Structure 1
Amino acid sequence: MTKNRTPLLPVRHAWVKQTLSDQTERVGRVESAIDRGNQVDVTVHWQGENRKSVVPLSSLRCGFRPMMDVQDVPASRTRKTMGEGIVLKTRTLGGRDQVLVDFPRVGKQLWLPYETLKQIKGSKHRFILGETGPADSAERFRLKSLAHALEMWNENTGSLSHLEIDPLPHQIHLVHHILASGNLNWLIADDVGLGKTIETGMLLAALKQRDSLNRVLLVTPAGLTKQWQDELNHKFKMGDFLIYGDDFQINEPRHWKMFDYVIASMDRLKDDRHLAALEQAGGWDLVVFDEAHRLSRRQYGMKLDASQRFQLAAQLRRKTDAMVLLTATPHQGMQDKFQALLELLRPELTDKINSLRNNPEIIGDMVFRNNKADVTDVDGNFIFNGKTTSAMEVSVSQAAKVFDNTLQAYLRKGYEASAKLGVKGNAIGFVMTVYRKLAASSAAAIHNALINRKLRLQTQANIEPMGNYAEKDQRFIGEWEEQLQTEAAQFFDGELDLLDQLISEAERLRDNDRKLQLFLDELIEAIRADNPDQKVLIFSEYRTTQTYIKSALEGRFGAGCVEQINGSMPHHLRHAAIARFEESAQFLISTEAGGEGINLQRNCHIMINYDLPWNPMRLVQRIGRLYRYGQRNRVVVFNIHSPDTADEQIMEMMYSRIEQVVTDLAGVSPEFDSQLHDDILGEIADLIDVSQILEEATVAGIDRTEERINTALALAKEATEKQHELFAYAASFNPNETRNELRITSEHSTAFVQGMFQQLDVEIVDTSHDGRLWHIRIPETMQNALGSTRTRYEVTLDRILAIKRPNTHILDLDSHIMRYLLQEAKSYDFMGLSAVVRNLPNSAALTTSILRWQNDQGHRRRQEYAVFGITEDDQVQINPESFVDWLKRPANTGTVEIDRDQNRRWFLAAEKAADRRLAEVSNRHLHPENMQWVSGAWVGR
């Protein structure tokens, strides 16, 4: 040893050796070390001598030997331990003794000073020696297993992170499949309404737990940036995502590196100025494109014509190793466009992708597709159990026909003026389209808009520019259209006079509104006659209509019977309105703000569409608020429309034709499948531009419009057929995919929390809500560990209950309390490394291990917690179902006769089984990294 240095005091249980005067060596464990200023004295318990002695540190050397189990004990209080490891070799460098330790948890082999290492007994050592542990070792073994199993399951699925919903099996398995593949370049093509946003959030949550997500770029259509930010923040607690252009700007390209979680509009980023700055943003761990079918590259002969959006994606592809594309309709009947998307994902497979017709099976490694018809709940029951849709026709009065004729004349003049002005006239055409949509919604909506238009012409006030339609939040387009400020100049000569006539006719309609009368007298009263307390969800695209309906309902049924949701309400007020609807109010009126993101299936199964959205996709999304997992009743949908008006004739034709095409496609299967019908409806609706067809109808007439509709639907049908044919090869939900893994449920989370509360003296003072809500008191030691002064909490593991009670702490894996419980259970000092357990059939012993895989550059890509059940005759079963069930209940310690030779044999069998599992999961993206033995147990009496 070199004497002229500041000594590093060895930790307790560090192994040392001393050379005696006769040149023999003795080894022992450090009991304590005292720095006396001029000398460090160390108390050592010598191996084989059964005695202790105090010797100077200067006379000691490293005593660790290869294959010893050690624990890193940091010399600095601010550095975290690297956990437990195995000694590989020792060396002396610069006069200091060092130890090479393999730390499987962090995936590193490091040379460390021997003084900071503590000798421990690992699970393998304890199992072979037959050390059965203390009286409560079986329960500690169970809780340690649960802690590792919960973390690994969440790391591989994201399903136990902060969510406002209980994820469905198809969502869990999609994330699991992508992560298990070792390759993060995928096109997620789930049917409309199956939760691609949820799946993406779960994927991000799983990657964050793996510490593999330091920089993410989420690229969306302009109108969806805020929606994505809201979803990630409120459903996943990912509030770090900022919107480029709204929440932050980039003044210099180098400033891009200051932002790690970014949401950006694809049309903003594709601009040359923004794209040049983005080039200097550095690399991204993951880039996600929503509505990826908008990334267009077409092939004309030998020439490729790539849109700016596609060029943006290609440029970002060079900045990341992981890209995820989201779209329900990636093919759209254009094989070259679809292949271009696949090339973005896997450029190294370009040759195979270009010959996709010859080897379509390759998309199984790139495309994941869930069909609504196949989706089930956790018990294997089909989620979508049927719905009934009824059309409620409003008999149009003579006054309504007169108004409609006048309005059509006004629209024709407006469109003609728009056409004469060319591009400059687009704003006029847009206003005409808005007016006809308002007229289809309610007499109140069009009446209000016409009055505002007249006021604009009379005041001649300057207005702000309309802004970019595409930049608006797509959920609230109708509400934005309704508040549109028009130009102060007349669109055409005589407009003001025509407005006066329209306003007068609209006012008479409001005084005798047959649509509102049918809604109240025939529909609402009939629903209430069947059940006076029946809750009803009502949709309208516009706030004026919403207010109009609310006033009518409260006038008849009293104040407080109606709640409403619209785009002007912040997130917490929407949730409060939903809570009041579910608890006391009978009616909830929502604009498209409720068409996505709210789930009302638990207390409501009746929906009324007071107006039909022009985009059929919006109708699918509205129905999805009730027609989803958790709905116990058949969903009943009423659509109110007036078939005698010009626009609604076209809308009726459109919906009727779509229904014919969908039924035709769904009927291709051996027996008609209502779920397949809904899948195809979503696809067809996404391929039809209803607004454009309706605009043409004003000038071309009904016959030309019918031809236009038929042509559009024929193309949509062909595209859908081609897409279905190709997607037969895509990866999809397979419940058997996880059969060899520990499948964790909410029951395991509850069992773990209850067990750890008992171990750590957390008192459950009271329970309520059928035992789902706990009032707890935590001990002082836990307070200190959490860095909190609070002693009492209201906690739950029920996500839905936590949503309804904002001050209740949800014990998901993002909870600081849950993280503390997991950390304690996994720690070496918690023990549970070996035990004798009872009531576990079909096994004589158990060993548990964390298996790990890495990519071809040595970066960790997958971990899996595995249990090996061993029989008397050395046969091994991986993750036996009996163990998964056994974990759910408190464990009692048993007794057993120990045979060390048998223990060695059993452990060797487990090691061979673990090695087989490593080989089984490995592929060209995943390569074995290590196995870390966690615990072992015998099954006794």
Structure 2
Amino acid sequence: MSAVIPDFKPGQSVYHPDLGEGVITAFSPGGYAAVFFKSVGLRQVPVETLRRQLTWEQRVISGLRQVSPKNLELLWLSWEAEQLPLMESASTLTSAKVDLLPHQVVLVHRLAMASPRRYLIADEVGLGKTVETALILRELASRGQMKRALMIVPAGLVNNWARELNETFNLDFEIFGSEGDVTDRKSNAFAKHNRLIASVDTLKRPARVKRLLEAPPWDLVVFDEAHHLSAYKNGRRVKKTENYKLSEAIRDHCRDLLLLSATPHQGDHFRFWMLVRLLDPTLFQNEQEMVESRHRLNAVVIRRTKADACKADGRPIFARRLVNTQAFHLNNDELKFYNALQDYLRDGYNLAETQGGKGRALGFVMTIFQKIAASSFAAVKKTLRRRLLMLTIHEAIHCDQNMDVDGRDNALSEARALIHDMFDVPFDPIGRAEAERILADYRLRVLRKIEESETFILNYDLQGTSDIAAGTAEEAAADFVSLALPEERRRIFSLLERFPGGIETKIIELLRALGEIWQANQSEKVVIFTTYLGSVDSIKGAIESTFPGQGVEVLKGGDHGSKTAAEKRFKRPDGPRVLICTAAGREGINLQFSRILFNHDLPWNPMDLEQRIGRIHRYGQKSTAQVYNFVAADTIEGKIYLMLEEKLKEIARTLGKVDENGQVSEDLRSQILGQLFERLSYDRLYQDAVRDPALRRTRQEIEVAMENAARARNVVFELFQDLEGFNISDYQAHDDKGAGMLRLIHFATIALQYKNGKLIEVEKGKTYIADIGNGQSVRFTTQRDIAIEDENLSLLGLEHPLIQQLLEAYTNLPPEDRALRGKIPSLNNTGVLTVWHIEVLGAKGQIQRLIIPLGVNREGERTRSIEQAWTMLQQLQPSLGDGFTADWLEHIISEVIPPMLQRELQYKGALPEGAMFSAKLLGLVELV
């Protein structure tokens, strides 16, 4: 006799106590069923061990029970955990230790509410586009609207972006590329990884673009420095750069697209129109219509200036700054050495030019020498001596290859003598052995560098990274000896013999200025920027010798951690009074606790100088930032700098942009220099000046470039004048006056209590200790300014590990714990309150999430008074009345409420044409 098979059918969902959820595929004799389980695959199990797998809604109804204080608290926690990430003020509840400025909060709110999100964020330099972007990413992630995001940035900024997004905002991005966390050598990384940062140069190769388009679409793509996405018009032809082609390819492969640029308009309306077309190709038919209807740019362009930015109370954010030019003259010995060096450089440039491609390495070496010489004579001496050593070893290798034994031995003898002198190695047996070891190391280095030089130079962007890559270039200038000047060793010997003795005039000027500052305030903190390590050593030695006890900290590279450590040591009240920064300090450090900065040398690109100044002249600076630029008036570099400043002031005076102190207004300076960068090759300008000592052509080129930059600035000013600026009232409309943080604290308090933990208020409304059991505790603050000042104190926010842990615990509440029966005395109606998590999917991939309460009475009609129970849960009491049947509740939830939800979404404008939505029951309260 065969076994009786319960009322199961193939295809039915079932549950097994050990194997979990599965689906019946077939039945077998003897009372067995073939079930495909999610956890283990296909298995044969006795039918009697299976039970019907209820739907989520059925499980919610099955757990319906009488209300008690404890289960009511649990239900509230589960609902609150769903709502907190969707609050309108969620962007201000970040635990990142950064100041949130009003214009940033307003921007994030605007973008979070927008659909589609396709904008050019064109805020001026210094207004925090990186922070704004991170806040947008955090907001969308909290709302469940960002699973896949791609940051496309300049190569030199990849690591900066990674640090900001990951270390500050905990967004878990990976770096794509050969030097990063992720590559595409074995698989399509764009399909496997959801949050990536990549350089534009890495992605624009055709093979990579193909892989990008083969991967799933992105929720958000961000292009930093978007003005490099260029398309030009030449007659009737349009030429698109590879950068532009990349952006064009990916714009239709993402839901949201953000372009970031402080200088998006390069004075060419067509180029800017093509940039706007990436965001909305239908906004303007051509660049003429864009100019005529420029107010329509508000649909896709957001631009705020430093004049717009303010604190929450309306006070200005940025302190004033005074930039002073400290011009001085070289002494006679320095001038003779400088002129001899110019002859050396001039001959080097001329030889490099006649050698065509082969002369590239020598031209590179001369450029670096020119820059080093503008920094300090100590730095150029160090590099000249090293180049002399490398040239001598190269000569020995060359003689050896030609079987010239005497020539080889003579060269090696000279090299040994140089090593003893350069490295202060004694001439005893131990010293000679050490000299031989150094010689062997340098010989290998020469052989390797001959092979590497061309590759290095091809990958070295002189115009874009000259200051940042200065340390590497300093070595390369000495090491690349594959092409040299005739008798270059003799010429370097001659130069070194002319090297001026004593302390450099520039150092004397610096020491004099420091003395005056410390005479007025002995504890004044001073930042000194210089580019090359040879200069660092001479400055540090001179300060320590002249002002013993003041202390000197040096920031000269390394990873972000070492830079931050140097910054912290300098910041301590009892720490060193001087911080010497190389190019490594130009980005990623905040020194607004110091108000005085000396530029010991000047980078050729004035925008690099602005970045240096931005280390102290930034949000949080309480005093006028005082900047002193040392300029040797009788050098080519000094003359060119003074020419640039003279022309800039002339333009500023014409526009009424010079203040009572003779300072060019900061906005005009940044606008002109930003445009100038696109029109002037500073490296070529300075190189040509060596061969034109009178600087006639140089002056003419500067004047033409400056006039064009000023013209472009005016074009941009006119085009953007109808863009909506920031108004503090915009912020005040969204400012919740701390209500969001209070709500977060309340949630954490109840959630910890439910788990037998507790939240201890240490300082009222400011600092807390969360006791989470098992001897574990977390100390945090709710005040952003306190958290920024105290590195040992975390800031509470939605992504804080404690909050994340609690949110996860209560959003994962089992369905059986989500239904209660009770009564609210002040409500007369009986019925059921349901709470729903809604996800709307737009036709173009837009996602919106909402929490909607919906109540119906016994007749199945929607009843607003029942929905009021949503805000009155704390009044819920046990009820002795008869509840509803499970069948009635199932009917209401599956048949009656879905059309009501659809009508509610349409009423809210949250269900556009072509959109779909899904609904998950978060719980119900039976009111009887």
Q: What TM-score, normalized to structure 1?
A: 0.72
Q: Structure 1 or 2: larger helix share?
A: 2
Give how far 1:532 is off.
Answer: 0.8
Alignment of 1:785-804 (within 5 A): 791-798=776-783
Q: Whole-Å Cα distance in 2 between the matches of residues 557 and 227 of structure 1?
A: 35
Residue from 571, 575, 579 that aligns with 2:568:
579
Q: Whole-Å Cα distance in 1 between the matches of residues 145 and 768 of structure 2?
A: 34
Give how far 1:496 is off.
Answer: 2.0
Q: Whole-Å Cα distance in 1 between the matches of residues 461 and 682 of structure 2?
A: 17
Per the alignment, residue 596 of structure 2 pairs with: 606
Whether 1:526 and 2:516 are equivalent positions in the alignment is: yes
Give how far 1:764 is off.
Answer: 5.6
Per the alignment, residue 719 of structure 1 pairs with: 712
- Structure 1 pair 140–372 and aligned structure 2 pair: CA distance change class (3 A): farther
Query: Any stretches of 5+ residues in structure 1 without a counterpart?
Result: 11-34, 36-75, 79-95, 100-110, 123-130, 780-788, 838-846, 868-875, 877-886, 896-911, 936-941
Per the alignment, residue 431 of structure 2 pairs with: none
Query: Any stretches of 5+ residues in structure 2 without a counterpart?
Result: 18-36, 40-50, 395-445, 827-832, 854-863, 865-870, 877-899, 924-928
Q: Tell me if the contact between 2:229 and 2:241 (Cα under 8 Å) persists in the aligned partners.
A: yes
Give how far 1:553 is off.
Answer: 2.4
Q: Which has the higher contact order (CA 8 A, sep 6+)?
A: 2
Q: Tell me if the contact between 2:759 and 2:769 (Cα under 8 Å) persists in the aligned partners.
A: yes
Whether 1:627 and 2:562 are equivalent positions in the alignment is: no
* Equivalent position amino acid for 2:114 in 1: S
Whether 1:183 and 2:116 are equivalent positions in the alignment is: yes
Q: Whole-Å Cα distance in 2 between the matches of residues 830 and 796 of structure 1?
A: 35
Alignment of 1:69-108 (within 5 A): none
Residue from 366, 374, 381 that aligns with 2:308:
374
Per the alignment, residue 23 of structure 1 pairs with: none
Give how far 1:600 is off.
Answer: 2.1
- Structure 1 pair 119–668 and aligned structure 2 pair: CA distance change class (3 A): farther
CA-to-partner distance for each residue in 1:131-166, whole Å, 9 max, x for gaps?
9x98999999999879946652365x4x43342312
Per the alignment, residue 283 of structure 1 pairs with: 217
- Structure 1 pair 116–836 and aligned structure 2 pair: CA distance change class (3 A): closer
CA-to-partner distance for each residue in 1:726-747, whole Å, 9 max, x for gaps?
1223354344446655x34667
Give how far 1:368 is off.
Answer: 1.1
Per the alignment, residue 243 of structure 1 pairs with: 176
Per the alignment, residue 729 of structure 1 pairs with: 722
Per the alignment, residue 802 of structure 2 pairs with: 817
Give how far 1:546 is off.
Answer: 2.2
SS in 1 for 2:719: helix
- Structure 1 pair 834–381 and aligned structure 2 pair: CA distance change class (3 A): farther
Per the alignment, residue 40 of structure 1 pairs with: none
Give how far 1:408 is off.
Answer: 1.2
Per the alignment, residue 507 of structure 2 pairs with: 516
Per the alignment, residue 259 of structure 2 pairs with: 325
Per the alignment, residue 337 of structure 2 pairs with: 403
Give how far 1:757 is off.
Answer: 2.9
Alignment of 1:737-776 (within 5 A): 737=730, 741=734, 743-744=735-736, 748-749=740-741, 752-753=744-745, 756-757=748-749, 760-761=752-753, 762-763=757-758, 767=762, 772-776=766-770
Q: Whole-Å Cα distance in 1 between the matches of residues 528 and 906 of structure 2?
A: 54
Q: Tell me if the contact between 2:842 and 2:915 (Cα under 8 Å) persists in the aligned partners.
A: yes
- Structure 1 pair 892–309 and aligned structure 2 pair: CA distance change class (3 A): closer
CA-to-partner distance for each residue in 1:183-222, whole Å, 9 max, x for gaps?
2221111111222222222222222222332322222222
CA-to-partner distance for each residue in 1:695-745, whole Å, 9 max, x for gaps?
22222341111110001111111111111211223354344446655x346
SS in 1 for 2:619: coil
Q: Tell me if the contact between 1:581 and 1:588 (Cα under 8 Å) persists in the aligned partners.
A: yes
Q: Whole-Å Cα distance in 2 between the matches of residues 415 and 314 of structure 1?
A: 41
* Equivalent position amino acid for 2:270 in 1: D
SS in 1 for 2:151: strand
Q: Whole-Å Cα distance in 2 between the matches of residues 372 and 222 of structure 1?
A: 27
- Structure 1 pair 920–395 and aligned structure 2 pair: CA distance change class (3 A): farther
Q: Whole-Å Cα distance in 2 between the matches of residues 384 and 253 of structure 1?
A: 48
Per the alignment, residue 128 of structure 1 pairs with: none
CA-to-partner distance for each residue in 1:268-300, whole Å, 9 max, x for gaps?
332344444444344322222222211221123
Q: CA RMSD in A?
A: 4.8
Alignment of 1:304-703 (within 5 A): 304-349=238-283, 351=285, 355-460=289-394, 461-462=446-447, 463=449, 464-465=452-453, 466-467=456-457, 468-470=459-461, 476-484=468-476, 485-506=478-499, 508-509=500-501, 511-520=502-511, 522-558=512-548, 561-567=551-557, 569-583=558-572, 584-601=575-592, 603-662=593-652, 664-665=654-655, 667=657, 674=665, 676-677=667-668, 679-681=670-672, 683-684=674-675, 686-687=677-678, 688-700=680-692, 701-703=694-696
Q: Whole-Å Cα distance in 1 between the matches of residues 95 and 358 of structure 2?
A: 49
Q: What TM-score, normalized to structure 2?
A: 0.73
SS in 2 for 1:476: coil
* Equivalent position amino acid for 1:424 in 2: K
Q: Tell me if the contact between 1:616 and 1:685 (Cα under 8 Å) persists in the aligned partners.
A: no
* Equivalent position amino acid for 2:681 in 1: D
CA-to-partner distance for each residue in 1:839-876, whole Å, 9 max, x for gaps?
xxxxxxxx999998956428554468999xxxxxxxx9
Q: Whole-Å Cα distance in 2 between the matches of residues 498 and 186 of structure 1?
A: 57
Identify the range of structure 1 (810-819 vs 248-257) with the bigger mean alpha-carbon deviation. 248-257
Q: Tell me if the contact between 2:303 and 2:723 (Cα under 8 Å) persists in the aligned partners.
A: yes
Whether 1:152 and 2:87 are equivalent positions in the alignment is: yes
Q: Whole-Å Cα distance in 1 between the matches of residues 610 and 823 of structure 2?
A: 55
Q: Whole-Å Cα distance in 2 between the matches of residues 469 and 243 of structure 1?
A: 20
- Structure 1 pair 312–824 and aligned structure 2 pair: CA distance change class (3 A): closer
Q: Tell me if the contact between 2:218 and 2:253 (Cα under 8 Å) persists in the aligned partners.
A: yes
Identify the range of structure 1 (727-736 vs 141-150) with the bigger mean alpha-carbon deviation. 141-150
Q: Whole-Å Cα distance in 2 between the matches of residues 850 and 613 of structure 1?
A: 59
Q: Whole-Å Cα distance in 2 between the matches of residues 793 and 272 of structure 1?
A: 49
Identify the range of structure 1 (707-716 vs 685-694) with the bigger mean alpha-carbon deviation. 685-694
* Equivalent position amino acid for 1:219 in 2: I
Q: Whole-Å Cα distance in 2 between the matches of residues 848 and 385 of structure 1?
A: 54
Q: Tell me if the contact between 2:644 and 2:702 (Cα under 8 Å) persists in the aligned partners.
A: yes
- Structure 1 pair 270–927 and aligned structure 2 pair: CA distance change class (3 A): closer
SS in 1 for 2:498: helix
* Equivalent position amino acid for 1:543 in 2: L
Q: Tell me if the contact between 1:540 and 1:592 (Cα under 8 Å) persists in the aligned partners.
A: yes
Q: Tell me if the contact between 2:273 and 2:286 (Cα under 8 Å) persists in the aligned partners.
A: no
Per the alignment, residue 772 of structure 2 pairs with: 778
Per the alignment, residue 196 of structure 2 pairs with: 262
- Structure 1 pair 759–923 and aligned structure 2 pair: CA distance change class (3 A): closer
Q: Tell me if the contact between 2:279 and 2:300 (Cα under 8 Å) persists in the aligned partners.
A: yes
- Structure 1 pair 345–765 and aligned structure 2 pair: CA distance change class (3 A): closer
Give how far 1:813 is off.
Answer: 1.7
Alignment of 1:152-171 (within 5 A): 152-153=87-88, 155=90, 157=91, 159-171=92-104
* Equivalent position amino acid for 1:647 in 2: E
